Amino acid sequence: MTFERSYRIGVEDIGYENLATNKTILEIMEDIASVHSASVGFGVKEIQDNNAAWALLDWKVKVIRRPDYDEEIKAVTWSRKADRLLAYRDFKLFDKDENLIAIGSSRWIYMNLEKRRPMKITADIMDRYESEDVSVFDEEIAKIDISALENKQEIASLNYKLRRRDMDYNGHMHNISYIDIANEVLPEELYFNKHFSDIRVEYKKEILKDDEVVVKYFQDNDRVLITFETENKLNAVIEYKN
């Protein structure tokens, strides 16, 4: 079963060339995923009763045509499939003329908030979503290859201490906050002149309040890689391509 919602690109959603930022694209996909889950009884308001919440592991997004300021768009999402511990959700964004402007795929776990561990995704949970095994990408989400970084020095780095604004309702760093912080380590010529239409984000280990995070920026041929580390352990990786 697909789920639809309309969005308008506001002044806070735009950046270079007055077009929607990558943060905005991900926020729209995150929001419609949350609203869809709420519609079947697994939304934000049910977290306390269930003592569990959906936690994001991966984004894979392709922007085909970036929406403009004040543009109305339609977002469509659906639960694609699930195995014992992983659930997959895909997205499509359309303009007012029904032209496809972005696609996305994501992986999630259903996390026990008390134990901070994944829970089994039961058939009862997935039955509520009426999953459709239709993928927007030809290939499944794969791990970001960071092997090239083993002998490569970062171009820039940033030490960052999490603030209240970075946190979400689950008590860890909000997945969209990674995009904000990544922007701070990008060189200005990239931040102000590049859109990066291919986006991959891989969340490996949650970052908690008051954690000291080291953010590093690398260039690897046609890829921009941004890593997040706490106590010398890799927490997340962002990969951008044009």
The residue extents of the domains of the chain are 2-129, 147-241
Q: Which fold has domain 147-241?
A: Thiol Ester Dehydrase; Chain A (3.10.129)
pLDDT of residue 187: 93
Residue 67, CA distances (Å) to 1, 64, 115, 200 in order:
26, 10, 41, 19
Tokens 């991900």 -> residue: 26
Domains 2-129 and 147-241 share a fold: yes
Model confidence over 179-194: pLDDT tens digits?
A: 999 999 999 999 998 9
Continuous segment of H or E residues that includes residue 91: strand 87-94
Distance CA 215, CA 158 (A): 5
Average pLDDT (214-234) is 95
pTM over 0.85: yes
Distance CA 240, CA 226 (A): 9
Average pLDDT (6-23) is 97
Which of 142, 140, 79, 128 minimizes the C-alpha distance to 108? 79
pLDDT at 231 over 80: yes
Q: Which fold has domain 2-129?
A: Thiol Ester Dehydrase; Chain A (3.10.129)
Model confidence over 49-105: pLDDT tens digits?
A: 888 899 999 999 999 999 999 999 999 999 999 988 999 999 999 999 999 999 999
Contact 227, 218 (CB under 8 A): yes
